[in-house]
Structure 1
Amino acid sequence: MSHLPKADDLEATWAFLEQGISQIMERTDEGLTYPKYMDIYTAVYNFCTHNKSGTSNNIGNVFNNQVRGAYLMGSDLYNNLIKYLTGFLLKRREIAEQHSEESLLNYYTKQWTQYTTAAQYVHHVFKYLNRHWVKREIDEGRKCVYDVYTLGLVRWREDMFNYVQHQVMEAVLKMIEAQRNGEAIEAAFIKKIVDSFVSLGLDENDSTKSTLDVYREFFEKPFLLATQAYYKNESETFLSENSVVDYMKKAEARLSEEEARVQMYLHPSTSTPLLSTCETVLIKNHSEPLHEEFQGLLDNDRQEDLARMHGLLSRVTDGLAPLKVKFEAHVRRSGFSAIEKIASEGEAVDPKVYIDALLAVHTQYNGLVTSAFKGEAEFVKSLDNVNPTPIENIDKIGLPRIRKSKQELLAKYCDSLLKKGSKNADDDDLEGTLTNLVIPPSGVLTHRQMTVFKYVEDKDVFQKFYSRHLAKRLVHSTSASEDAESSMISKLKEACGFEYTNKLQRMFQDIATSKDLNDEFAEKMQQTHDPSELPVDFNIMVLGSGFWPLTAPTTSFNTPTEVIKMYERFQQFYGNKHQGRKLSWLFQHSKAELKASYAKGSKIGYTFQVSTYQMGILLAFNGAISHTIEDLQSLTNLNKDTLDGSLQILLKAKVLLIIPPDGIVGASGTRYDLNMDFKSKKVKVNLNLPIRSEQKQEVEDTHKTIEEDRKLLMQSAIVRIMKARKTLKHVALVQETLSQIKSRFTPKVADIKKCIDILIEKEYIQRVDKDTYEYLA
């Protein structure tokens, strides 16, 4: 090892090291042979570990002197390395200053690559210095000391970067602008520049860590300012010469380019500030013309352009707010227009046409929200906000003929779907139609979807009308499908809860129980009576009065002698089976079939499907083929309105003929004759048609029932709240009552106050003071 310099000779040692370092720094591609590498490493080791103060027999003194010597010699090597790197970089800087634009970038990146590669080699040959002297200095808090590779970066920053970075950035920004203008560039130059700026960020408090301070200050900041200026000028010029739709396409393309630029050569941290800058300049600063264009796109159903506008404006704060307001107003106008159109086509609005019109509007704009607005929650909410205009107030927009409530029309439409003879009865889409009416199909949207039922404000009103229609379908066996009925109830239960459908489900249970009861009664009659004593096929339904929306008869009625025995036998049978229960006969909901063999033109006879009251009237003609109005009144015991309504249907079907005295219809002594020449194309003739006056009364009764039920519902809610709270202020009680009941209907504050007063009178609660109530156990 005689060729190595003496360990205590700084000048010789550095001259030896400088020769090796120069070979590394200036001829990086050649590298070092392993023996040469070991010689340099050993020279550093020997110099750092020799005992400058001489030897001693005292081991402790030797150790202390060696430590102190290693400290001093390490400092000398470190300082000489700084001088070398400074001189090395000065020569490169002078050459760099002679270059400009792309030539400068080429030279700068090439020198940076060679320099950092060489610095890594130098770092390795000074490994011993790093592990001992440098580490000790850093541990003692000296911030100006770095490991050798970091020192190389520091010197590049101080001796090269600080002098040329401005010219380098000018060249980079020109190159990026050229790329934005459509020219091809060497993106690798920019990528290397970015990497160099990132590498030069050093943590002043910890030399082992790096920051993005240099990159952000010297690259990102001027880059963002240049980006802002470029797009400000381009956007203003382009928008003044082109349409808003073309501008949106341009802005969308530019944003996509900038996102790709981050991936291509920028640091990932630049993505957020870059896109924010572009969004401000391209979108926010031009949001007004975009907002103005929105209505035209809606009117022309330009879904692709609407989706583009939504995508752009959703990027900026409050960019979508004006669109949501305009969208809500547009949907409301479309809904009113659809209703106005159907209202102008006839005297009365068909529930199916009305609901189909609402569904069509819903489908159109829900599809728009889903596709163009990406199912965005605020647009779904805007769609929901169309709801609060009830059909009861439709006369405000000039449609006074639509008098039925939305709830009643929806219930009637459901009845038309679920009744026998419906066009949808055997359609596979029936389930989907019911679903669209009640709850949204799963998977269509992650947020709430507009449906007709959801837009029903007072769901208790719908429930009452729906239950009446359901009762009629069950009583008259006109349901198209039990599965469809069950499915509808399941959907209502899912939407509103168990309590909402409890009575509806009990109605089905009563029908099932009645079937078993009829079978048992028939078996009993066959066991106890001769077949000749059972001339009438008899079927009965026993329904719980608390679950069925069926009212008591409004008229008395004499049961015909032909069927009275069967009524009495069943009453006795049921009384023996269920002692203590009382049966109330609802003749107005009953029906019968009568064989008519009297008509001269019929060989096989007709079968009349009639109501029970019509049965009583027609059976009276078994004794005589002509009766006065007074005779029929006496025989049936029906009141005048019911008798007249039933006779009108029989007269219209020409089963009876009217012979008024002196030509005055309705006068005393008016006679009704059985039409012996009755003819019909059908063997079965349905005469059991609804009487208009009864229908009107039924609707009025339903609304009365709704009002009474609401009072009870409010009272029970108030009692529950007070029982839980014991004492409560008036305002808090009203608010909690509203909160509990709003899923069924929205009560008026005045009605809640009335219910509070009723409960005070009933001594459920008491008033402690003017504004406070207390629960009474």
Structure 2
Amino acid sequence: MPPIAMSMSGMPSQPIRDDIDNTWQYLQGGITRIMTNLQDGIDLGTYMGIYTAVHNFCTSQKAVGFTPSSNISSGSHRGAHLLGEDLYKKLTEYLTNHLTELVTESKAHTDEALLAFYIREWHRYTIAAKYIHHLFRYLNRHWVKREMDEGKKSIYDVYTLHLVRWRDVLFKLVSEKVMQAVLKLVERQRNGETIEYNQIKQVVESFVSLGLDEGDSTKTTLDVYRYHFEKPYLDATKIFYQNESKQFVADNSVVEYMKKAETRLDEEEERVKIYLHPDIGIPLKKCCNLVLIAEHSNILRDEFQVLLDNDREEDMARMYSLLSRIADGLDPLRAKFEAHVRKAGLAAVAKVASDADKLEPKIYVDALLEIHTQYQGLVKRAFNDEPEFTRSLDNACREFVNRNEVCKSGSNKSPELLAKYTDILLRKSGSGVEEAELEKTLTQIMTVFKYIEDKDVFQKFYSRMLARRLVHSNSSSDDAETSMISKLKEACGFEYTNKLQRMFQDMQISKDLNTGFKEHVQAAGIKGLDSSYSILGTGFWPLTAPGTNFNPPEEILADCERFSRFYRNKHEGRKLTWLWQLCKGEVKANYIKNAKMPYTFQVSIYQMAILLLFNEKDKNTYDEIVSTTQLNSEALDPSLGILVKAKVLNLGPGSDKVGPGAFFALNYEFKNKKFRVNLNVGMKSETKQEEVETNKTIEEDRKLLLQSAIVRIMKARKRMKHQQLVSETINQIRQRFVPKVGDIKKCIEILLDKEYLERLDDDDLGYLA
């Protein structure tokens, strides 16, 4: 070994011999100084002396086992190997002895004093380890690396060696007591005391640092931390909260317990953030959820109905938050919530449904919306808008919207009333609401519509009412009408609203046609009526030809014929069917005595024909009116009845009611507060008849819809089991209405008779092209 060129404090002036004992004796003094008195500092000379001694020792050529005949390079390699191993063993032995002394010292400490001792010694030991690691860098770089490359186990770099010795000598003997001291400190904090949590944090860091991978010394694991810290911490936590929660539940209400549990859960999460390792976060949460929530979940769920009944929204939110932490914790709550909402909805409808036939649509729809709005708000605020609670709300609403006190009188009642309420909103002066408010209300209408199962019923009633609004120019706003159709289209698709949109197109085409007709009349110099015509496509409008013959007044007939000729010239081959029951107009009453100005009567075409008869004479008999107008009694009697009721006509002496044998006279003394008097008002009997007709067409349309669906399915599948066909038909149709199995079977029989289908073996049905 070559002599050291420098003269350094504390280093022998004689060259260091290659004898390991002499070398170690020199190194040990420096290592001990670093290990025990580093706070006093170490001079550069001593530091460099130790570093150089390690280097010289590892590179010495005078190694045990070296012979002159040996290859120099191989001798050098072998010598360095042996000397490095001796040095490594000496250092390991030194650390073992040092740590054994610390174990003895630790026995004099308990609880917080033990923690302070452990942390202090760990801090000192690991800092010293970094210095010593640097001093033995040459050993690390050559001998240790070579040993590790050759796959030698239990060989570590010098710093890791320090950690391994700490773990195997001191930690093994004192870790349990240290952990007990930690747990006592945590329990004191849980009981409300203020603690020095930095001690726990440093203990955690120590335990984590000791996680060394035995298979690969360059890697670390959390095994030591998990076994010696995490496991006992979780066990202690479980015992603590089991005892506390059991006692707290016995002495306090469920709501107070929830508050307590919430506080405890927050505290544990805060501990993870402040002084625990993040790895414990998930298992600690599971442990706390099990002890504080799952083990008391039954009493929490039992309390839920009480909270619902008393609208305790904040407490329900707290319960939701707690039970959402455990598996399937919320399922019983959702079931109770659904039953509660259904019951509330049925009660709300029963409250307003004393007479289903006289029930105001607005009152009914408002009752449905009130319940939905109330519990939708609860889902949003208390249940975090959770999809599963929303589904429970939807299920409950679907039940009480389609199967309630009002629907007992007919399953179509909900969609019918909803359509009528929509009609009230969209009619002129029907609702008196502002445009923004109207849009909001239409959105609410769609909320109820979403739950309606018989959407085809709504469509039928809505289209009839829309037709009347359009024909009579009675819509409050084109924008509102368009908005509603857009909403329906978004909910049910293009096919659902196709006819509704075509009705609007017909009205626009009619406007252009009327403009052309007026220009044509003016150009011809004809002085006609101030008339307007609507051309309505037969396939798109839910309107039927009048159920009576009718002979219109000459003036009306002449104008209609002029328009017919004009229309046929533009559209050759088309046939016009006059819907007299929908026609209306205005007549001026110039005959009334003492009137400041002539009254204007707004009348139906039938009423107009009746009144014009009185231009010729003041009195007409019932039979004369029938003979001239050709109206049957179903159309004539209501029209006359309104004129009599309004006192435009007086029943003659001896006539007690409208009908054969009666006669009528003009009332020259007619008076009214308004100078424009609307006599074109529908009778309740007409409305009732229209409802019956609508429901009848619904049933007929459903049969056709079911048959077309069955044919469509069979055309695609060619062959199906009877039961499969029924199920598939229900799936395809349920967006429009919920079909009855019996109706589907009847439709299958009809299609068998019509030879669209045939019976095959094994209850199979086949498609006949």
Pick from 671, 675, 685 the counterpart of residue 677 of structure 2.
685
* Stretch moving more, 213-222 or 186-195: 213-222
Q: Determine if contact 2:183/2:236 at 8 Å carries over to the other structure.
A: yes
Give 1:295 shift: 1.8
Match of 2:219 in 1: 209
Pick from 472, 476, 499 the counterpart of residue 472 of structure 2.
476
Give 1:345 shift: 9.0
Percent identity over the alignment is 56
Match of 2:697 in 1: 705
Equivalent runs, 1:12-161 vs 2, <5 Å: 12-51=22-61, 52=63, 61-161=71-171
Find the aligned partners of 1:240 and 1:481 in 2 and give their Cα distance. 64
Alignment of 1:410 with 2:421, yes or no, is no
Match of 2:731 in 1: 739
Q: Residue 540 of structure 2 aligns to which amino acid in structure 1?
A: F
Listed one character per residue, the Cα deviations across residues 42-88 of structure 1 (whole Å, up to 9, x for unaligned) are 22222222221587887x81111111112111111111111100111
Match of 2:570 in 1: 577
Match of 1:607 in 2: 600
Match of 2:521 in 1: 525
Find the aligned partners of 1:390 and 1:236 in 2 and give their Cα distance. 41
Instruction: State the secondary structure of the residue aligned to 2:358.
Output: coil
Find the aligned partners of 1:418 and 1:310 in 2 and give their Cα distance. 42
Find the aligned partners of 1:681 and 1:36 in 2 and give their Cα distance. 121
Find the aligned partners of 2:214 and 2:759 in 1 and give their Cα distance. 73
Match of 1:436 in 2: 444
* Stretch moving more, 429-438 or 268-277: 429-438
Find the aligned partners of 2:656 and 2:368 in 1 and give their Cα distance. 48
Q: CA distance change for structure 1 residues 648 and 667 in 2, over 3 Å: closer, same or farther?
A: closer
Pick from 739, 748, 751 the counterpart of residue 756 of structure 1.
748
Q: Residue 555 of structure 1 aligns to which amino acid in structure 2?
A: T
Pick from 702, 708, 711 the counterpart of residue 716 of structure 1.
708
Match of 1:349 in 2: 359
Instruction: State the secondary structure of the residue aligned to 2:587.
Output: strand
Give 1:554 shift: 1.0
Match of 1:441 in 2: none
Q: Determine if contact 1:419/1:425 at 8 Å carries over to the other structure.
A: no
Give 1:404 shift: 6.2
Q: CA distance change for structure 1 residues 71 and 722 in 2, over 3 Å: closer, same or farther?
A: same
Find the aligned partners of 1:709 and 1:30 in 2 and give their Cα distance. 101
Match of 1:447 in 2: none
Instruction: State the secondary structure of the residue aligned to 2:217.
Output: strand
Alignment of 1:426 with 2:434, yes or no, is yes
Instruction: State the secondary structure of the residue aligned to 1:609.
Output: strand
Give 1:632 shift: 1.3
Give 1:666 shift: 5.1
Pick from 281, 295, 303 the counterpart of residue 271 of structure 1.
281
Alignment of 1:458 with 2:454, yes or no, is yes
Q: Residue 539 of structure 1 aligns to which amino acid in structure 2?
A: S
Pick from 561, 564, 568 the counterpart of residue 554 of structure 2.
561
Find the aligned partners of 1:71 and 1:169 in 2 and give their Cα distance. 41
Match of 1:595 in 2: 588
* Stretch moving more, 507-516 or 277-286: 277-286
Pick from 616, 620, 629 the counterpart of residue 609 of structure 2.
616
Find the aligned partners of 1:288 and 1:299 in 2 and give their Cα distance. 18
Q: CA distance change for structure 1 residues 172 and 53 in 2, over 3 Å: closer, same or farther?
A: closer
Find the aligned partners of 1:588 and 1:480 in 2 and give their Cα distance. 23
Instruction: State the secondary structure of the residue aligned to 2:38.
Output: coil
Q: Determine if contact 1:391/1:405 at 8 Å carries over to the other structure.
A: no
Give 1:390 shift: 5.6
Q: Determine if contact 1:348/1:402 at 8 Å carries over to the other structure.
A: no
Instruction: State the secondary structure of the residue aligned to 1:28.
Output: helix
Q: Determine if contact 1:660/1:666 at 8 Å carries over to the other structure.
A: no
Find the aligned partners of 2:490 and 2:177 in 1 and give their Cα distance. 70
Equivalent runs, 1:338-417 vs 2, <5 Å: 338-344=348-354, 348-389=358-399, 393-395=403-405, 405-417=413-425
Alignment of 1:635 with 2:640, yes or no, is no
Pick from 460, 463, 467 the counterpart of residue 467 of structure 1.
463
Match of 2:336 in 1: 326
Give 1:749 shift: 2.3
Find the aligned partners of 1:181 and 1:519 in 2 and give their Cα distance. 89
Give 1:163 shift: 0.8
Q: CA distance change for structure 1 residues 229 and 22 in 2, over 3 Å: closer, same or farther?
A: same
Find the aligned partners of 2:32 and 2:419 in 1 and give their Cα distance. 94
Q: CA distance change for structure 1 residues 352 and 667 in 2, over 3 Å: closer, same or farther?
A: closer
Q: Residue 517 of structure 1 aligns to which amino acid in structure 2?
A: L
Find the aligned partners of 1:224 and 1:758 in 2 and give their Cα distance. 71
Q: Determine if contact 1:660/1:669 at 8 Å carries over to the other structure.
A: no
Q: Residue 386 of structure 1 aligns to which amino acid in structure 2?
A: A
Q: Residue 374 of structure 2 aligns to which amino acid in structure 1?
A: Q
* Stretch moving more, 688-697 or 91-100: 688-697
Q: Determine if contact 2:372/2:397 at 8 Å carries over to the other structure.
A: no
Instruction: State the secondary structure of the residue aligned to 1:27.
Output: helix
Instruction: State the secondary structure of the residue aligned to 1:283.
Output: helix
Listed one character per residue, the Cα deviations across residues 574-627 of structure 1 (whole Å, up to 9, x for unaligned) are 111111100000011111111111111313211111111111111122222212
Equivalent runs, 1:192-341 vs 2, <5 Å: 192-341=202-351
Give 1:402 shift: 8.8
Find the aligned partners of 1:719 and 1:383 in 2 and give their Cα distance. 36
Unaligned runs of 5+ in 1: 439-450
Give 1:736 shift: 2.5
Give 1:775 shift: 3.4
* Stretch moving more, 169-178 or 745-754: 745-754
Q: Residue 556 of structure 1 aligns to which amino acid in structure 2?
A: N
Moved runs in structure 1, 4+ residues, more than 6 A? 54-58, 399-404
Q: CA distance change for structure 1 residues 317 and 55 in 2, over 3 Å: closer, same or farther?
A: closer
Q: Residue 677 of structure 1 aligns to which amino acid in structure 2?
A: E
Find the aligned partners of 2:437 and 2:660 in 1 and give their Cα distance. 55
Q: Determine if contact 2:350/2:405 at 8 Å carries over to the other structure.
A: no
Q: CA distance change for structure 1 residues 430 and 376 in 2, over 3 Å: closer, same or farther?
A: same
* Stretch moving more, 471-480 or 206-215: 206-215
Match of 2:496 in 1: 500
Listed one character per residue, the Cα deviations across residues 365-385 of structure 1 (whole Å, up to 9, x for unaligned) are 111100111001111111011
Q: Determine if contact 2:637/2:659 at 8 Å carries over to the other structure.
A: no
Pick from 185, 193, 197 the counterpart of residue 175 of structure 1.
185
Give 1:392 shift: 6.5
Give 1:393 shift: 4.6
Find the aligned partners of 1:394 and 1:725 in 2 and give their Cα distance. 39
Find the aligned partners of 1:57 and 1:160 in 2 and give their Cα distance. 46
Give 1:30 shift: 3.6
Unaligned runs of 5+ in 2: 6-10
Instruction: State the secondary structure of the residue aligned to 2:436.
Output: coil
Instruction: State the secondary structure of the residue aligned to 2:16.
Output: coil
Find the aligned partners of 1:740 and 1:666 in 2 and give their Cα distance. 52
Q: Determine if contact 2:164/2:210 at 8 Å carries over to the other structure.
A: yes
Give 1:347 shift: 7.5
* Stretch moving more, 219-228 or 46-55: 46-55
Q: Determine if contact 1:348/1:401 at 8 Å carries over to the other structure.
A: no
Listed one character per residue, the Cα deviations across residues 286-341 of structure 1 (whole Å, up to 9, x for unaligned) are 11221122122222212111111111111112221221121112112221222122
Q: CA distance change for structure 1 residues 667 and 514 in 2, over 3 Å: closer, same or farther?
A: closer
Q: CA distance change for structure 1 residues 524 and 180 in 2, over 3 Å: closer, same or farther?
A: same
Q: Residue 143 of structure 2 aligns to which amino acid in structure 1?
A: W
Give 1:500 shift: 0.9
Find the aligned partners of 1:395 and 1:418 in 2 and give their Cα distance. 27
Instruction: State the secondary structure of the residue aligned to 2:393.
Output: helix
Give 1:133 shift: 1.7
Q: Determine if contact 2:642/2:679 at 8 Å carries over to the other structure.
A: yes
Alignment of 1:586 with 2:579, yes or no, is yes
Find the aligned partners of 1:24 and 1:469 in 2 and give their Cα distance. 98
CA RMSD of aligned residues (A): 2.1
Find the aligned partners of 1:296 and 1:89 in 2 and give their Cα distance. 63
